[in-house]
A and B are shown apart, each in its own frame.
Chain A
Amino acid sequence: MATYLEFIQQNEERDGVRFSWNVWPSSRLEATRMVVPLACLLTPLRERPDLPPVQYEPVLCSRPTCKAVLNPLCQVDYRAKLWACNFCFQRNQFPPAYAGISEVNQPAELMPQFSTIEYIVQRGPQTPLIFLYVVDTCLEEEDLQALKESLQMSLSLLPADALVGLITFGRMIQVHELSCEGISKSYVFRGTKDLTAKQIQDMLGLSRPAVPIQQGRPLQAPEQPVISSRFLQPVHKIDMNLTDLLGELQRDPWPVTQGKRPLRSTGVALSIAVGLLEGTFPNTGARIMLFTGGPPTQGPGMVVGDELKTPIRSWHDIEKDNARFMKKATKHYETLANRTATNGHCIDIYACALDQTGLLEMKCCANLTGGHMVMGDSFNTSLFKQTFQRVFNKGLNGEFRMAFGANLEVKTSRELKIAGAIGPCVSLNVKGPCVSENELGIGGTSQWKICGLDPCTTLAIYFEVVNQHNAPIPQGGRGAVQFVTQYQHSSTQKRIRVTTIARNWADAQSQLQHIEAAFDQEAAAVLMARLGVYRAESEEGPDVLRWLDRQLIRLCQKFGQYNKDDPNSFRLSESFSLYPQFMFHLRRSPFLQVFNNSPDESSYYRHHFARQDLTQSLIMIQPILYAYSFHGPPEPVLLDSSSILPDRILLMDTFFQIVIYLGETIAQWQKAGYQDMPEYENFKHLLQAPLDDAQEILQTRFPMPRYVHTEHGGSQARFLLSKVNPSQTHNNLYAWGQESGAPILTDDVSLQVFMDHLKKLAVSSAA
């Protein structure tokens, strides 16, 4: 057998699943002693170019409470044409279509390599994708122009049959009618008045025909677009119209007096967008794309008043309970987000402004519906333009990398229960025998709805081992988990992806080393981090840090090898060796530290952390640092201040930022213009190398990272300095002598200090 590392790798590639533990402790008590919960990171739609979807319905277990999907782990009696469900042990007859199966003629779902399989099913009407642009017009002229161009460009990227709609807002909200000839027509709403979905539909004149068609004849899809044809139109029909309309879009015409913010009715605009789709296309794939250039300043959902002299809330204000509008606004957007999620639509937020835009309050819109959240300084930056373009990127097989209205159901074998999930999802409140009473994340259910997802969207799912200590599992017994994801593919097909995995049970007392060896410290770090970040949304920062510390200490106590009260004797096995370091960086990360971050930034970082896959999440926790020098090929170096050397170029990737940092000497050389001299061409290459590498990352990352090119002493060098482990600070600079590196002016503890403390506490018999 290959190493666990390879096993983990293989599993991830095949199923998009990474468990914190790959051998499971067999009893509840033991499991709780493992400190890190049994959990997995699931990427439901992980791209599998080698996996052709099958064109039939899955076979389900006939037990009504189970309904698990036939999978390679099931026992099959080929002669009797029976199969036994591996979750509930129900024996099921194969359906008539399977009459011809035998050991040599197996359907795909029984083959081991198809532990993940995708079915294309014919269910319900196929409605085209819907893109509803909600555009802020309170922008600077340049910004608006850039945004208009981006939007016009996006029309060419949309699927030709997609329906597209346009809502613009400023002081008022305009819902543009797209079908009209001649005079352009829009319905206008006041930005200060919240309206119910019913009112919105009445005012848009949608309510009357919608009722009989929606409820009476739900299958007659072709009639549906007619209802809302005025506001949502197929791209191919109206792209000229819409291009012109976007072209004529003016800045919000209401005067903004000196010392005031423009009145921006984001709250109502979003409410109208939600209401419009709710009434016309419930439960079909739809994206509401909100482009906003500032905070909502009036009406429900307002985040800050229009007086410029009162700044938008900071973390300080929030701690002091000084954020006047925060609670009300948050409630407004939460209500909207929940409605949107119920309808199966998702909300993207593209916020570009130098100041905060209220992402803190609006975050749930994207978080609960699986929408994107993009934060930039201006719409006139490549960051926004490229990111936005990338929303419409196509995958390997030429399909849009987006899916809608997914319903993720988790089934477990009876020794396991589901504790909860953390990710861009909402609970569907499906209780069942496999739902645990202990909640981790969004719990109390075995099904979640993910309204918008892409191949990278990753959920953390937490389990609880419920097997009692005195009921041992037979040797070689395996625990199984099945993930069933039903979703609307970007081609508007309905698809079901089924992933079934199994892991060995091990008795933690006798076989701890197996369990230990099968520990996936990367997955564990991310899973713990998600728990920590999830807690941080509702708890005080220091509490979360303390909790994380306690968990880490307990883990070290459990799995470390040491002599009591002798810190120097402390050792961790290889499978745990990196974990404390991850925790150290996590503690310093913007996901848990709000210092130096605005509430919006925190929300933005947390949003992405809760949906990216393991690799990206790890980068977020512990940024990657590469060094370029004449001393050798580019190499990854420690994220440590000692890595900052004068003759190096550093490339740091924090996921959100790409920083290229020229060491002191390099910077001087560049100033002196050596790169332009033919005899120093190698210097030119050295300068170019990190740029090329950065470009590669920039090309693929979504959202596009902030690109920082700086040098020793540059103001932007702070991006690097705030991330590296402050092994050298102004406090210990001279103690460390003149060895190397750059001192960081901080009082933060360094990794070394952190580890020392950890060891001390882990070995302490008092703890």
Chain B
Amino acid sequence: MSQQGYVTAPPYSQSQPRMGGFSAGFGPPNSSLHYGHYGDPNSSHAAPQPGMSKPTVPLGSSAPLGPLPPGTHQFSQNNFQSGASAAGQQPHRFQSPPPPNNTGPSYPPSSLHSQPASPHTASTSCTTQLANQLNSMQINSYGPSAIQSSHTSSGHPASFQGPQPLPLTQHQMALPPGPQIPPPANNFSGLCAQSSLPNMARQDGIPGSGLPNPNLQQLPGQTPGPGYHPQQGNYGPQMAGSQLSYPGAFPGGPAQLSGPPQKRLDPDSIPSPIQVIENDKSSRGGQIYATNTRGQVPPLVTTDCLIQDQGHASPRYIRCTTYCFPSTSDMAKQARIPLAAVIQPFATVPQNETPLYVVNHGEAGPIRCNRCKAYMCPFMQFIEGGRRYQCGFCNCINDVPPFFFQHLDHIGRRVDHYERPELSLGSYEYVATLDYCRNNKPPNPPAYIFMIDVSYRNINSGLVKLICDELKTLLDKLPREEQEESSAIRVGFVTYNKVLHFFNVKSNLAQPQMMVVSDVGEVFVPLLDGFLVNFQESRSVVNNLLDQIPEMFADTNESETIFAPVIQAGMEALKAAECAGKLFIFHSSLPTAEAPGKLRNRDDKKLLNTDKEKTLFQPQVNSYESLARDCVANGCCVNLFLFPNQYVDIASLGLVTMHTGGTLYKYNNFQLNSDSPQFLTDLRRDIEKKTGFDAIMRVRTSTGFRATDFFGAIYMNNTTDVEMAAVDCDKAVTVEFKHDDKLNEDSGALIQCAVLYTSISGQRRLRIHNIGLNCSTQLADVYKTCETDALINFFAKSAFKAILSQPLKAVREILVSQTAHMLACYRKNCASPSAVSQLILPDAMKVLPVYVNCLLKSSVLTGRPEIPTDERAYHRQLVMSMGVADTQLFFYPQLLPIHNLDLKSDAVPAAVRCSEERLSEGGAFILANGLSMFLWLGVSTPPELIQGLFNVPSFAHISTEATLLPDLANTYSKKIKSIVEHIQNQKPYTMKLMIVKQREQPEMLFRQFLVEDKSIHGGASYVDFLCCVHKEICQLLN
């Protein structure tokens, strides 16, 4: 078994911590181990030809295994138990078994005797159904041929090249409808030519798609009325070849599906995300989930339940891609399931869950293992009557400090087990001692600095006045500790255009004082005392200032702005004040003024789909990277509110925000009337957010595995310390783990995440999250406990990180192939024997294909000129710091029918699948993805609904200008507003509501979010993608 085929190494992992490493990340072979198959120099195929290499690998390596689904499980066990040392021999050992096992398909499913029954049975119903469905698609016709091919290929095991064309041609020859088969010729040629295919196909499918503005684009096939739906069915197959722009796609395959004799695949029969979500809701929603068991799979993110910390961190804080790690790295490589945890250390917990306890050991400080420095937690085992404890992470035996000593009870547990959070809970906080502080000095309370672009545009649009007016009330709501009366956070104000204006708002001044710093080349802070003030004390001066700012610049005609010096100035101010803090920068244009970090418009559509496309996501000038480093070093978090009218180079502007744990907000073509509510809500929420400042996170693991890669709004100076200038409740860090050694099934895999930070009151604290996972030598256990939502979070982040160094095409290919591998491995090792043609999905990964397809269709991974580069960079940045719930919603939007509401109940209606065919002319739907929200209205929406919502008599009277629903005193309005509120609740970004009428132009925008359909930007529909994946799996299995 060749290693390169099943390297489960993280596809995009890049363990280089330095920030400048984008370009160096993947190219050079020096750290090949981490690179996985992104240009893995170890693999036999040449890195620059990913298109060709893909079929080579699965075919060459997996062909012999193809016919042995039931047996594989056993074999693989044997193999992994003994095989680690004899990896090179594996192919031979596998090749001999095939003939005797050739009758494999007839094995009864029960041969999977060792598997726990319950979840598996649940899955079978689903898989069979799916298989049937696929059978009807005649995919099963591959079955026999595949077997044949495997026979053939098994005859040439030594050669990778030899067997490959052969089985493929056989495939094609086996396809019944001959005429539609494309020239059988050479599969390679097909693959090579594949790059040109999308264009052709696009033209076939959507002739109008060449139009530059997607909003104005009209689908020709989108004829009104019912005729549309049948047509759509035809689209899919035609498109498939083109849309699946990875080499596994058979150019001829889709033609098959469109063949006349065949019936359309019923969308209801393929795994439905909505179904999965609803099932989980109904089975686990509203219940108490106690985290008392190691390796327990939590409810889905979409399910509401009460979480009780009983020794493991709540899934709100940590979610893992799988709750059972494979015991060995070979197993992990075989399954290729990423082992990762998505950690949201400051996640908001609902009111009815217990907030974190704070442990204070006074001078002594937190108790830590002497060797690995892990903090005292439930995984520590007390021995010798309580005098010592054994560290669960490194097994070191430590003395219990005298003040902490306690006797053990009859089961060896400390008597005070339940009295001490650090012994009984998964998550808790420690009060840190001076050793944990910068320069061994207690930190000052953090500061917020508001930095407002007062160039002509912002003055003219009224934005400056809006901000100033809002701040007057907002500053009263600065976050504070529960027990304190007022916030300890100090505030400062800066305005800028080509130069910076600092303001002295010291409480004893009658008037604020303005200090202009025009030396933008080497910016500095002109004042210390009076710049950062307590709002309560300086209220009158600050209000005076906020009143005057709009007037002061009222007749400005300065249109050029600076940007990097603004951040620099804020950072220097915090540095001078010796505190951490957040900058709130309100910026609107490309910084073109002569200053460091000056940018030019480099948006170039010609770069799309070339090797240089990645540069669009990299900062234009290096200064932003060093600025980010300095900001992190000084605990300066940069929150950026952008109001662009055109290209502003978010890849550059947002870089510092990204690395400092800040949040980027973007309001295109900001209009005071329509966009203020959205912006102000975002601003309010951001200011009030609970945040940890100057944070450093460390993830410790028990022996046998370790954290290797980190994704998020973070900065890494070395390979272990995750630095964040600030971390708020919405920021999540995705951590990938890799095996060092064998994992012990008894002790499991333990993870401790410790975040050292400064609280809003200026207290240095440690937040500890502990979670224990199971380990198993059974792949089935791993598959059983997978969490698709977390997987997608991981895939999204790693892919979005990879596009900085890899061509888009390669990134997409890897996503598809990894998906296929994971599923193929399951099929091979865990599933009950069935026809190879049957698509069998693990229950926990049922919806993985649809989600991966959504990810592939995301604007970031779609290099299309219609999508503004800034929009892609923006999304990329947002996703990098998202938690599991956010990515779930972002990639698979929520679509709620609101025309048939039960007005009496409080419940939010059940979502429907994001597909055109779920819409109806007579219906109204709300769609939300966490960034935007649409209210879609069918042409024959009931008038009473329209009246109730908009207070207008008919569909035609509805204005689509509005971004808010009017406040009306009727049940419709109230109910729907409450639904909107519910959707918006706890989301990091405020969604602007867009009202979309059926068959009006803006509907195009809306349609992009119907992610199960094929996309106007060339993304495959769910069905097509599933077919593709299936084919890829089949190939792998053969």
A residues whose Cβ falls under 8 Å from a Cβ of B:
172, 174, 182-190, 193, 195, 202-205, 248, 250, 253-255
The one of A185, A190, A204, A250 in contact with B522, judged by C-beta atoms closer than 8 angstroms, is: A190
**Interface stretch (choices B508-516, B612-620, B990-998):** B508-516
State whether B528 touches A255 (Cβ < 8 A).
Answer: yes
Binary interface encoding of chain B residues 694-733 relative to chain A, with 1 for a CB under 8 A from any of its CBs, else 0: 0000000000000000000000000000000000000000
Binary interface encoding of chain B residues 493-531 relative to chain A, with 1 for a CB under 8 A from any of its CBs, else 0: 000000100110000011111111111001010111110
Q: Which residues of the partner chain A approach B512 to less than 8 Å between Cβ atoms?
A: 183
A202 to chain B, nearest CB (A): 7
B79 to chain A, nearest CB (A): 68
State whether B518 touches A203 (Cβ < 8 A).
Answer: yes
Given contacts A188-B502, A190-B519, A193-B519, contact A174 B526 (CB under 8 A): yes
What 19 new A-B contacts, CB under 8 Å, besides A188-B527, A203-B499, A248-B509?
A172-B524, A172-B526, A174-B515, A182-B548, A183-B511, A183-B514, A185-B516, A186-B514, A187-B517, A189-B517, A189-B519, A190-B519, A195-B519, A202-B518, A203-B518, A248-B510, A253-B528, A253-B529, A255-B528
Q: Which residues of the partner chain B approach A195 to less than 8 Å between Cβ atoms?
A: 519
Q: Which residues of the partner chain B approach A193 to less than 8 Å between Cβ atoms?
A: 519, 522
What are 7 pairs between A and B in contact, CB < 8 Å? A172-B526, A184-B514, A185-B516, A186-B514, A187-B515, A203-B518, A254-B528
Measured between alpha carbons, how far is A396 from B529 in the docked complex, in Å? Answer: 48
Q: Which residue of B lies closest to A251 (CB)?
A: B529
Of the listed residues B516, B551, B552, the one surrounded by the most CB atoms of chain A closer than 10 A to its CB is B516
Measured between alpha carbons, how far is A248 from B509 in the docked complex, in Å? Answer: 8
Tell whether B545 is near chain A: CB-to-CB under 8 Å.
Answer: yes
Q: Which residues of the partner chain A approach B528 to less than 8 Å between Cβ atoms?
A: 253-255
Given contacts A188-B502, A205-B518, contact A253 B513 (CB under 8 A): no
Q: Which residues of the partner chain B approach A202 to less than 8 Å between Cβ atoms?
A: 518
Measured between alpha carbons, how far is A182 from B553 in the docked complex, in Å? Answer: 13
State whether B515 touches A188 (Cβ < 8 A).
Answer: yes
Q: Which residues of the partner chain A approach B511 to less than 8 Å between Cβ atoms?
A: 182-184
Which 9 A-B residue pairs are closest in the complex by CB-CB distance? A253-B529, A188-B526, A203-B518, A185-B514, A187-B516, A188-B515, A190-B524, A184-B513, A183-B514
Q: Which residues of the partner chain B approach A205 to less than 8 Å between Cβ atoms?
A: 518
State whether A183 touches B545 (Cβ < 8 A).
Answer: yes
Count how many pairs of residues, one from A and one from B, have CB atoms less than 8 Å apart in the complex: 63
Q: Which residue of B lies closest to A172 (CB)?
A: B526
State whether B509 touches A203 (Cβ < 8 A).
Answer: no
Measured between alpha carbons, how far is A189 from B499 in the docked complex, in Å? Answer: 12
A43 to chain B, nearest CB (A): 45
State whether B509 touches A186 (Cβ < 8 A).
Answer: no
B residues whose Cβ falls under 8 Å from a Cβ of A:
499, 502-503, 509-519, 522, 524, 526-530, 545, 548, 551-552
Q: Which residue of B lies closest to A205 (CB)?
A: B518
Q: Which residues of the partner chain B approach A248 to less than 8 Å between Cβ atoms?
A: 509-510, 513
Measured between alpha carbons, how far is A190 from B521 in the docked complex, in Å? Answer: 11
Q: Which residues of the partner chain A approach B545 to less than 8 Å between Cβ atoms?
A: 183
The one of B516, B519, B522, B548 in contact with A186, judged by C-beta atoms closer than 8 angstroms, is: B516
Measured between alpha carbons, how far is A187 from B502 in the docked complex, in Å? Answer: 10
Measured between alpha carbons, how far is A254 from B551 in the docked complex, in Å? Answer: 30
Measured between alpha carbons, how far is A424 from B584 in the docked complex, in Å? Answer: 55
Q: Binding site of A, secondary structure by majority: helix, strand, loop or mixed?
A: mixed
Q: Which residues of the partner chain B approach A204 to less than 8 Å between Cβ atoms?
A: 518
State whether A253 touches B527 (Cβ < 8 A).
Answer: yes
Measured between alpha carbons, how far is A731 from B516 in the docked complex, in Å? Answer: 67
Q: Which residues of the partner chain A approach B509 to less than 8 Å between Cβ atoms?
A: 248
Q: Which residues of the partner chain B approach A190 to less than 8 Å between Cβ atoms?
A: 519, 522, 524
Q: Which residue of A lies closest to B502 (CB)?
A: A188
State whether A253 touches B517 (Cβ < 8 A).
Answer: no
Measured between alpha carbons, how far is A377 from B252 in the docked complex, in Å? Answer: 98
Q: Which residues of the partner chain A approach B524 to less than 8 Å between Cβ atoms?
A: 172, 190
B508 to chain A, nearest CB (A): 9
The one of B518, B527, B529, B548 in contact with A187, judged by C-beta atoms closer than 8 angstroms, is: B518
Measured between alpha carbons, how far is A182 from B548 in the docked complex, in Å? Answer: 8
Measured between alpha carbons, how far is A163 from B954 in the docked complex, in Å? Answer: 71
The one of A174, A183, A189, A253 in contact with B548, judged by C-beta atoms closer than 8 angstroms, is: A183
Q: Which residue of B lies closest to A195 (CB)?
A: B519
Measured between alpha carbons, how far is A185 from B501 in the docked complex, in Å? Answer: 9
B922 to chain A, nearest CB (A): 60
State whether A188 touches B517 (Cβ < 8 A).
Answer: yes
A265 to chain B, nearest CB (A): 12
Given contacts A172-B527, A253-B529, A253-B530, contact A183 B552 (CB under 8 A): yes
Measured between alpha carbons, how far is A254 from B573 in the docked complex, in Å? Answer: 12
Q: Which residues of the partner chain A approach B552 to less than 8 Å between Cβ atoms?
A: 182-183
Measured between alpha carbons, how far is A253 from B518 in the docked complex, in Å? Answer: 20
Q: Which residues of the partner chain A approach B519 to less than 8 Å between Cβ atoms?
A: 189-190, 193, 195, 203
Q: Which residues of the partner chain A approach B503 to less than 8 Å between Cβ atoms?
A: 183
Measured between alpha carbons, how far is A660 from B170 in the docked complex, in Å? Answer: 123
Q: Which residue of B lies closest to A204 (CB)?
A: B518
Q: Which residues of the partner chain A approach B502 to less than 8 Å between Cβ atoms?
A: 188
Q: Which residues of the partner chain B approach A254 to less than 8 Å between Cβ atoms?
A: 528-529
Q: Which residue of A lies closest to B514 (CB)?
A: A185
Measured between alpha carbons, how far is A195 from B518 in the docked complex, in Å? Answer: 12
Q: Which residue of A lies closest to B518 (CB)?
A: A203
Q: Which residues of the partner chain B approach A250 to less than 8 Å between Cβ atoms?
A: 529
Q: Which residues of the partner chain B approach A187 to less than 8 Å between Cβ atoms?
A: 515-518
B548 to chain A, nearest CB (A): 6
Measured between alpha carbons, how far is A164 from B455 in the docked complex, in Å? Answer: 31
Q: Which residue of B lies closest to A193 (CB)?
A: B522
Q: Which residues of the partner chain B approach A255 to less than 8 Å between Cβ atoms?
A: 528
Of the listed residues A183, A193, A248, the one surrounded by the most CB atoms of chain B closer than 10 A to its CB is A183
Measured between alpha carbons, how far is A208 from B527 in the docked complex, in Å? Answer: 28
Measured between alpha carbons, how far is A142 from B510 in the docked complex, in Å? Answer: 22
Measured between alpha carbons, how far is A174 from B522 in the docked complex, in Å? Answer: 16
B556 to chain A, nearest CB (A): 12
Q: Which residues of the partner chain B approach A183 to less than 8 Å between Cβ atoms?
A: 503, 511-514, 545, 548, 552
Measured between alpha carbons, how far is A204 from B512 in the docked complex, in Å? Answer: 20
Measured between alpha carbons, how far is A202 from B519 in the docked complex, in Å? Answer: 9
Measured between alpha carbons, how far is A255 from B530 in the docked complex, in Å? Answer: 13
A241 to chain B, nearest CB (A): 11
B903 to chain A, nearest CB (A): 55
Of the listed residues A174, A188, A204, the one surrounded by the most CB atoms of chain B closer than 10 A to its CB is A188
Measured between alpha carbons, how far is A248 from B503 in the docked complex, in Å? Answer: 15
Measured between alpha carbons, how far is A189 from B552 in the docked complex, in Å? Answer: 21
Q: Which residues of the partner chain A approach B515 to less than 8 Å between Cβ atoms?
A: 174, 185-188
B498 to chain A, nearest CB (A): 9
Measured between alpha carbons, how far is A193 from B519 in the docked complex, in Å? Answer: 10
Measured between alpha carbons, how far is A703 from B529 in the docked complex, in Å? Answer: 37
Q: Which residues of the partner chain A approach B516 to less than 8 Å between Cβ atoms?
A: 185-188
Q: Which residue of B lies closest to A248 (CB)?
A: B509
A175 to chain B, nearest CB (A): 9
Measured between alpha carbons, how far is A253 from B527 in the docked complex, in Å? Answer: 7
Q: Which residues of the partner chain B approach A203 to less than 8 Å between Cβ atoms?
A: 499, 518-519
Q: Which residues of the partner chain B approach A172 to less than 8 Å between Cβ atoms?
A: 524, 526-527
B572 to chain A, nearest CB (A): 11
Measured between alpha carbons, how far is A204 from B516 in the docked complex, in Å? Answer: 9
Q: Which residues of the partner chain A approach B518 to less than 8 Å between Cβ atoms?
A: 187, 202-205
Measured between alpha carbons, how far is A363 from B511 in the docked complex, in Å? Answer: 39
B441 to chain A, nearest CB (A): 13
B496 to chain A, nearest CB (A): 13
Of the listed residues B514, B517, B530, B552, the one surrounded by the most CB atoms of chain A closer than 10 A to its CB is B514
Q: Which residues of the partner chain A approach B510 to less than 8 Å between Cβ atoms?
A: 248
Measured between alpha carbons, how far is A606 from B526 in the docked complex, in Å? Answer: 38
A352 to chain B, nearest CB (A): 24
Measured between alpha carbons, how far is A575 from B530 in the docked complex, in Å? Answer: 69
Measured between alpha carbons, how far is A184 from B501 in the docked complex, in Å? Answer: 12
Of the listed residues B502, B519, B548, the one surrounded by the most CB atoms of chain A closer than 10 A to its CB is B519
Measured between alpha carbons, how far is A184 from B519 in the docked complex, in Å? Answer: 19
Measured between alpha carbons, how far is A172 from B514 in the docked complex, in Å? Answer: 14
Q: Which residue of A lies closest to B515 (CB)?
A: A188
Of the listed residues A202, A250, A254, the one surrounded by the most CB atoms of chain B closer than 10 A to its CB is A250
